[in-house]
Amino acid sequence: QVQLQESGPRLVKPSETLFLTCAVSSYSISSGYYWGWIRQSPGKGLEWIGSMSSRGRTFYNPSLNSRVTISGDTSKNEFSLKMTSVTAADTAVYFCARQFCSTNVCSRPASVEYWGQGALVTVSS
Amino acid sequence: QVVLTQSPSASASLGGSVKLTCTLSSGHSSDTIAWHQQQAGKGPRFLMKLNSDGSHKKGDGIPDRFSGSSSGTERYLTISSLQTDDEADYYCQTWGTEIQVFGGGTRLTVL
């Protein structure tokens, strides 16, 4: 079964950059599917951040687009999230995920199939 | 842009059944959604993908007690033979051309 595990600094200062990595086991990220990030602010619902295809095509939430970059490292079978200029509003549990493709040609991401356990990132000075 | 609406809370008796609803915004009656379960303090778990015709594909290891159905813009998750560990938040999810959307979630209490 596919497993995903988030890692990275859990405390980030305001205006700095958040960086998280998702290590994937039992499936190669270059073989297919989409690989995404979703977050959940304390006591709130789920918010999609963005997704990357197995070929590196990316989609981002328009509300975060200018601050977010998702990229992959196939040699390590992991993918990463970079979010710049963070504020307290970015404090959340960040989940990485594997997502189905919405079409036969995998033109865009669909639902999450596998979730990571999540990583709480706090933005505070 | 599609919007998903869920009731904030629901309750049902141990051993009974419950039907949770996720409503798609107008014009999206053909859309497929997914249901996810999030138990307290844990990451979500994919339950199923649910099509507009009611057909659904479950995730790995999801028991037969969980089923899905559809009617118009409404998508349902029915849980039967309720157990204590079914007490959780349930989220629906859908996707557009370049966007992913989650509903606000329904907190299920098993009495």
**Which chain B residues are closer than 8 Å to A61 by Cβ?**
99-100
What is the number of alpha carbons within 13 Å of residue B44 lying toward its C-beta? 33
**pLDDT (tens digit per residue) in B48-106:** 999 999 999 999 999 999 999 999 999 999 999 999 999 999 999 999 888 899 999 99
Binary contact (B95, A109; C-beta < 8 A): yes
Closest CA to B96 of A31, A62, A97: A62
Q: Do the Cβ atoms of A71 and A61 come closer than 8 Å? A: no
Contact B91/A1, CB-based, under 8 Å? no
Q: Do B95 and A110 touch (CB under 8 A)?
A: yes
**Residue from A111, A115, A120 to probe the interface with B (highest B Cβ count within 10 Å):** A111
Tell the residue number behind the tokens 């950059």, with chain if given.
A17
Q: Looking at chain B, which residue has its C-alpha nearest residue A109?
A: B95
At residue B108, the pLDDT reads 98
pLDDT in tens, B10-51: 999 999 999 999 999 999 999 999 999 999 999 999 999 999
B100, B88, B108: which is closest to B3 by C-alpha? B100
- Cα–Cα dist A15/A18, whole Å: 9
Kindly report the backbone phi and psi dihedral angles of residue B53, in degrees, each rounded to the nearest multiple of 5, phi listed first. Answer: -90, 5
**Contact between B60 and A1 using a beta-carbon 8 Å cutoff:** yes
| Burial state string for A77-92 with b = 16 or more CB within 10 A and e = fewer than 16 | bbbbbebeebeeebbb
Q: What is the DSSP letter of A32?
A: S
**pLDDT tens digit string along A41-65?**
988 889 999 999 999 999 999 999 7
